[in-house]
Amino acid sequence: MATLQDIVSLAKRRGFIYPGSEIYGGMAGFYDYGPLGNELKFNIKQSWWRNMVQMRDDVVGISAAIIMNPKAWEASGHVGTFSDEMFKTSVGRTENDSSVAYLRPETAGGIFVNFKNVLDSMHLKLPFGIAQIGKAFRNEINPRDFIFRTREFEQMELEYFVRPGDDEKAFDKWVKERVAWYKSIGLKNIREHEQPPEERAHYSKATIDIEYEFPFGWQEIEGIANRGNFDLTAHQKASVKDLAYFDEETKEKYLPYVIEPSAGVERIMLAVLCDAYTEEDDRVVLKLHPTLAPYKVAVFPLLANKEKLIAKAESIRDALKKRWMTAWDDRGNIGKRYRSQDEVGTPFCVTIDFDSLEQNDVTVRDRDTMEQKRVAASDLEAYLAERLTS
């Protein structure tokens, strides 16, 4: 199993994760994401969005402002209740009591305050969900374990609204759905942990955490909570706006209950990196699921100084680029280039050699099996597509 140090050093060396503002000595709890880390994060978010919004008929997505009217955080219990200091800022030219605002500590708030807007503009019927991906900020006293606990991070949250009474069934269903998603992106070493009442957030009737076995032990990567109607009740009271749902079937008006699967992008990223990190005889390989790999394919001309090889390799790369993130490498020998792509998890490498010029074919090398196969240039896209989407 990888140590945290293995991951930290690979992440920095290969452009996944850098300490925030490093040239000024860093800033505790903040990290910057390099070219490969940015792609990996993007792929995690895209897979989540596809699974939670695109592929479902009962979920829509929004993107709310990070800074909200502070009354929203008083209503939700974040200001005045939590022992954690949150992030304060000031809005407007003069700083005084009425200019105080907060960077959001969770994305959920933006969903609850827009419940009625989304309901009315999208003509939704229960059960339905509103999803959001976005930044959240917490002034954590003890940021730790690399990107596991930071002060700025991204959340992927769904608020799934149901009729009161249907919440327990929906809760169980969402736990299963979320575990299935982690399996679909290839994550091993996960388990469910039911939080006892004393561990739960103030709004939660029940919470199950999905935990991953990190090098520093089993830790939460996602929480699935039954928030009841805590939030809509609190916002209805504080805003003095009617947030009730009219149920056309039962002709009743009520505040729906809500189930919330809430995951952190960086924690999933760290879990995915730990899970994928593999040391073999003479190589380090990130066995990332193809959906998550930053580059899907790398293209190599056998030699860097042969015009015909370069031209052919460029034309092949240009075609692949339209569909996938690709890498290009013409330095050193092919063995070194393979090792370099293995270390960042690129599933396939394509080499163009002198035979390619004659036969119009390429060598495709598989990251995991290290097998090499000659494939006709005209079949290359279909060959890769079949293997990258399985």
By the criterion CB under 6 A, which residues form the site for ligand GAP? 106, 108, 138, 140, 149-150, 153, 155, 157, 220-223, 260, 262-264, 266-267
Residue 223 Cβ vs ligand GAP, minimum distance, rounded to whole Å:
4
CB of 160: closest distance to ligand GAP in angstroms? 13
Closer residue to ligand GAP in complex, CB, 260/275? 260
For residues 119 and 246, the answer to whether their CB atoms sit within 8 Å is no
Considering the complex, state which of residue 150 and residue 346 has its C-beta at the smaller distance from ligand GAP.
Answer: 150
Backbone angles phi, psi at 121, to 5 degrees: -80, -25
Tell me the residue number closest to ligand GAP, measured at CB.
264
Q: At what angle do helices 307-321 and 380-388 cross, to 10 degrees?
A: 50
Alpha-carbon span 164 to 113, nearest angstrom: 19
Smallest separation (angstroms) from ligand GAP to the CB of 321: 33
Whose CA is closest to 234, among 59, 120, 81, 103?
81
Q: Which is nearer to ligand GAP, 6 or 220 (CB)?
A: 220
- Residue 63: CB minimum distance to ligand GAP, A: 16
Cβ distance to ligand GAP smaller for residue 223 or 347 = 223
Looking at the Cβ atoms of 195 and 278, the one nearer to ligand GAP is 195
φ and ψ at residue 203, rounded to 5 degrees: -95, -5
Judged by beta carbon, residue 129 or residue 223, the one nearer ligand GAP is 223
| Shortest distance in whole angstroms from residue 112 CB to ligand GAP | 10
CB of 31 to ligand GAP, least distance (A): 10
Token duo for residue 274: 């730990």
User: In sequence order, what E strands does the chain have?
Assistant: 17-19, 31-33, 59-61, 88-90, 100-102, 128-137, 152-162, 190-194, 206-214, 217-228, 245-247, 252-254, 257-264, 277-280, 283-286, 297-301, 326-328, 348-352, 361-366, 372-376
